[in-house]
Amino acid sequence: MSILVGKKAPSFSASAVIKGGQIIADYSLDQFVGEKPVLFFFYPMDFTFVCPTELFAFQNKLAEFEARGVEVVACSTDTEQSHWGWLQMDKSEGGIKGITYPLVADTSKTISANFGVLAGDYELDENENMCATGPMIAYRGLFLIDKNGIVQHQIVNNFPLGRNVDEALRMVDALQHFEENGEVCPANWSKGDDAMKGTHESVADYLAKH
């Protein structure tokens, strides 16, 4: 498991389903560098139980992310055809119809691996055959990537543990407050609360020197 905070987010180009049903071949987060921040999250599998609760939770808050200028993008190791099929099914039937943000298809599993959230690895057995050491699906990883393409926040949950979308929004607010005001955000800070000023130099200045 790698720590990407403070580093450039891994680049990729992969198939994805956008706008709830349009398959495109070369989707990349690089299109947002210099333009807007991205909330990029992984989920384990299509046609499961906890995953749709998270996908709908992000959809329900999508307008709030968009109001902050943040692009929300999801990813799993399923194919784009699997994503598309799931998107055609109503929620009452276990589907995710109504999800409008992009779903990236990490069929090669390289995106999950590069972001450090792939559960398992490949190795050679005693007969020199390639075999997997785990389920080879993504943990519930979440990455807040700023408009310069740098990861500013990440969390990784095991499969049974769903995430808190309000906390993801809070981290967006904290990052934007720091970027706009140069003030750092203490524990349990929420938008509108008082933040903290540095005594001698800003955090950005400190990081630039070290």
Q: Which residues belong to the active site?
A: 51
Contact 168, 142 (CB under 8 A): yes
Contact 20, 99 (CB under 8 A): yes
Task: Give the C-alpha separation, 205 to 46, whole Å.
Answer: 44
SS3 content of the chain, % helix, strand, coil (to 5): 30, 25, 45
| Contacting residues for 85 by C-beta, under 8 A, at least 6 apart | 46
| φ and ψ of 130, to 5 deg | -75, 130
Q: What's CA 37's distance to the chain center, in Å?
A: 11
Nearest to 38 by CA among 168, 127, 130: 168
The angle subtended at Cα 182 by Cα 187 and Cα 175, nearest 5°, is: 55
